[in-house]
Structure 1
Amino acid sequence: MDWQQHAARLADQSTEPDSRWLAPVAKTPRHELVPRWWKRNGSNGWQLKDGAADPEAWMKAAYADRSLITRVGTLHADRAEPDDQPHGLPTSSATVPSLVVRMLRHGRLGTGLSFLDLGTGAGGLTAYASMRFGAENVTSLDVDPYLVSAAGNRLAHMGYHPEMVTADATERVPGTYDRIVSTVGLPAGPGLRPVLSALAPGGRIATTIGRTCLIITGWKHANGDVIGRVERDMAGFMLTRSGDDFPPALSELFSLAREGEGAEISTGTYPVLDVAEAWELSSMLQVTTPGVETDYEQRDGIRSAFLAHPDGSWARASAMGTAAPEVHQGGPQRLWTALERIRGRLNSEGSLPLLGAWVLITPDGVCHLSRGKWRASIGNR
């Protein structure tokens, strides 16, 4: 199978002509890392795609600069039957190659430096790092033993033998590393401590913080603090998980948000939007209201957004098109009001203070953000 021309085209699309990552992308047979994957079939369902059964579609999918979902709920595509139609959230994927390259750049890898790829997934980032800096310097870690095993075997077939580790990074990270790049959203607070402990003094980390799209980079100082910044770049990675699936969504609360009258009914100021797709807004909402989850639907021209929080708070905003929405809110917090406060700041100031903010991550995993007079902390409650 002539995959090289497809890989070369992908490298041209996902890197620059003078990039040191161009060759790793161009020389990695990505299709071997993703022999089967899931494709959305309607709004909630998934359809299994088998590369060997349709080589042309396999090449097109594997060498497109996009993510390929490999696991939905607890069912990995490798282990699925042709008629399986899982329902649920994606729980693993082959990350968009251009995003992999961006995260590697943020990580500032170098010759002879020990490197941890946190979130093995399909193994693409591990493959790129192994090719460029030698697999003997690379460790790849994931909570899912099947992902670690499958990626390890496929990388070995390519001639790479990095250290492959199965562990829950929110509980322990074996070893110490000069560089850590995470392609899962790490939780601020106690769940971040093991990763910080595994970063060597003078080392550098690049990660997103769970439920945000903020890419945080920083250098570890002798006192254990990591000091850096929120990059002017964003990424949407899956949350870390500790078991077979994501933590269960707030399904009962979202049901209430869809049907409930609410303790407070009002008219919103701004049009309804899909909060999850408005990355900067949703990230700021997580900073100000940690733990909030979002959902969105559009039917017959009516747009509806839903917010829910573990403390029992919920909100629903619905409107035809861009009209002012009717807003229902319940529980101890007014979630839509919090969102509109952020949108008001964005409109009045032209930007939010997140991107480019300075970051101090203390050894307890709390992330302290600052930009000008603005201050915020994530993970301390």
Structure 2
Amino acid sequence: MDWHGPAERLADQVTDPDSRWLSTVTHVPRHELVPRWWERDADGSGWALHDGSSDPVAWMRAAYSDRSLITRVGTLHADHARIGDRAHGRPTSSATMPSLVVRMLRHGRLGDGLSVLDLGTGSGGLTAYAARRIGDQHVTSLDVDPHLTRAAGDRLAQLGIFPHFVTADATHHVPGTYERIVSTVGLPAGPGLRPVLAALAPGGRIATTLGRTCLIVTGWKQINGDVVGRVESDMAGFMVTRSGDDYPPELTELLTAARSAEGEEVSAGRYPVVDVANAWELRSMLEIAVPGVEVAYEEVDDQTRTACLVHPDGSWARASAEWTDPPEVHQSGPQKLWTALERIRNRLNVEGSLPLLGAQVRITPDGVCRFSRGGWSASLGNAG
């Protein structure tokens, strides 16, 4: 198969003509790293397997499009599935869209001779780009899943690329010390962030998102161990880190109750129902205001919209309405989750923006992230 033309067109799409990443994207055969992937069924009930060798045209089209390809759902990797299989559950690994890989590498400010840790191997795309650009001897790729590190290592070796791979849970231990860390998983603020911060060399730089937010945080490590930086003006939606074969069960029982139960408090909402997960700034600000919230959203017949918010402390909220009508809101538990969301939406409407993007960030060695911008300040994570 002639992949060079599609790769060149992809590189033109995701980089600038004078970008140092242009040649890198052009010369990495992305299809070799994603021989199989999952796509949503038409009705959204599950995931259908796509095998590249069975449909080379679709393979080239998918691999050289600027989109993420889901490679693992629940505990089932596409590599291990059989033709005709369906998967059910949450995506647990993917080949990140190339434009986002390039953006994260730019945020990481890689340089010749600098050691780089790629957190979240996935299909190995970022590892391949980094190794092509600065030399594979300077690149280490880490993932919690041994199949991912093994498969990426084997596939990159076939391309003549030999970075170092590590299988480890980054929320517990990160072996080695690195001058640059680029994470394509959402790292948890608090104790789970400590091992990553400890692996960053003084003077080194990190680029990552924070779990359950879409905030890209970058910063430089100071002599005292703090990382000082900012929330970048662009955003990204990465999967959160996991420690086992799959994510812990969602708050299923609470979500079931939230979808139908009568709330302790029933009121009319001020704003139309919104898909919080895909309203990235709102989702990020909600996580800072009420850490740990899980969200769900559905539309029926393109008319009835329902959003649910649930929290581990037992709080839940449901807002439902026809299209953009004011919703009926049910809430229960110690925290009024929809009220918290509406406060954020009100601030957005009154001020025209939220203070997150461009905020200054200080991350202390205990993993606590402290944000400030103008007169606003907030923190995420606890010292544990």
**Bin for the TM-score computed over the shorter chain:** over 0.9
Provide the residue aligned with 1:306 in structure 2.
308
Structure 2 counterparts to residues 315-330 of structure 1, below 5 A? 315-330=317-332
Per the TM alignment, residue 86 of structure 1 is displaced from its structure 2 partner at its CA by 1.3
Per the TM alignment, residue 83 of structure 1 is displaced from its structure 2 partner at its CA by 2.5
1:351 paired with 2:353, answer: yes
1:75–1:86 CA contact under 8 A, matched in 2: yes
Per the TM alignment, residue 82 of structure 1 is displaced from its structure 2 partner at its CA by 1.4
Counterpart Cα distance in 2 of 1:83 and 1:4: 30
Per the TM alignment, residue 44 of structure 1 is displaced from its structure 2 partner at its CA by 2.4
Counterpart Cα distance in 2 of 1:83 and 1:66: 23
The residue type paired with residue 331 of structure 1 is G
Question: SS in structure 1 opposite 2:49?
Answer: strand
1:176 paired with 2:177, answer: yes
The residue type paired with residue 321 of structure 2 is A
The residue type paired with residue 359 of structure 2 is A
Provide the residue aligned with 1:110 in structure 2.
111
Counterpart Cα distance in 2 of 1:224 and 1:163: 26
1:210 paired with 2:211, answer: yes
Provide the residue aligned with 2:164 in structure 1.
163
Provide the residue aligned with 1:337 in structure 2.
339
Counterpart Cα distance in 2 of 1:153 and 1:160: 9
Provide the residue aligned with 1:374 in structure 2.
376
Deviations 1:112-144 (A, max 9, x none): 000000000000000000001000000000000
Provide the residue aligned with 1:25 in structure 2.
25
Provide the residue aligned with 2:253 in structure 1.
252
4+ aligned runs moved over 6 Å, structure 1? none
Counterpart Cα distance in 2 of 1:308 and 1:22: 43
Provide the residue aligned with 2:13 in structure 1.
13
Per the TM alignment, residue 43 of structure 1 is displaced from its structure 2 partner at its CA by 1.3
The residue type paired with residue 4 of structure 1 is H
1:35 paired with 2:35, answer: yes
Per the TM alignment, residue 247 of structure 1 is displaced from its structure 2 partner at its CA by 1.9
1:137–1:162 CA contact under 8 A, matched in 2: yes
Per the TM alignment, residue 311 of structure 1 is displaced from its structure 2 partner at its CA by 0.5
Pairs aligned (count): 381
Question: Where does the alignment leave 5 or more consecutive residues of structure 2 unmatched?
Answer: none
Counterpart Cα distance in 1 of 2:330 and 2:15: 46
1:44–1:88 CA contact under 8 A, matched in 2: no
1:152 paired with 2:139, answer: no
1:211–1:283 CA contact under 8 A, matched in 2: yes
The residue type paired with residue 14 of structure 1 is V
Question: SS in structure 2 opposite 1:71?
Answer: strand
Deviations 1:330-365 (A, max 9, x none): 111000000000000000000000000000000000
Deviations 1:56-104 (A, max 9, x none): 0000000000000000000000000113211110000000000000000
Counterpart Cα distance in 1 of 2:16 and 2:158: 28
Counterpart Cα distance in 2 of 1:354 and 1:330: 28
Counterpart Cα distance in 1 of 2:272 and 2:206: 38
Question: Where does the alignment leave 5 or more consecutive residues of structure 1 unmatched?
Answer: none
Counterpart Cα distance in 1 of 2:84 and 2:127: 32
Counterpart Cα distance in 1 of 2:328 and 2:375: 34
Counterpart Cα distance in 1 of 2:44 and 2:325: 25
The residue type paired with residue 59 of structure 1 is M
